[in-house]
Amino acid sequence: MRKEAIHSNLVSVAKALDERGYNAVHQIAGYLISNDPAYISSHRGARSIIQQIDRDVIIEELVKFYLENK
Series of mean pLDDT values for 10-residue runs along the chain (70 residues): 92 98 98 97 97 95 91
What separation in angstroms does the CA of 16 have from each of 34, 41, 61, 70?
20, 8, 21, 28
At a CB cut-off of 8 Å and minimum separation 6, what does 39 contact?
27, 28, 30, 31
The per-residue pLDDT for 70 is 73
- List own/partner pairs for 22-30 with CB under 8 A and 24 or more apart: none
pTM of the model: 0.91
- Domains of the chain: total: 1
At a CB cut-off of 8 Å and minimum separation 6, what does 45 contact?
16
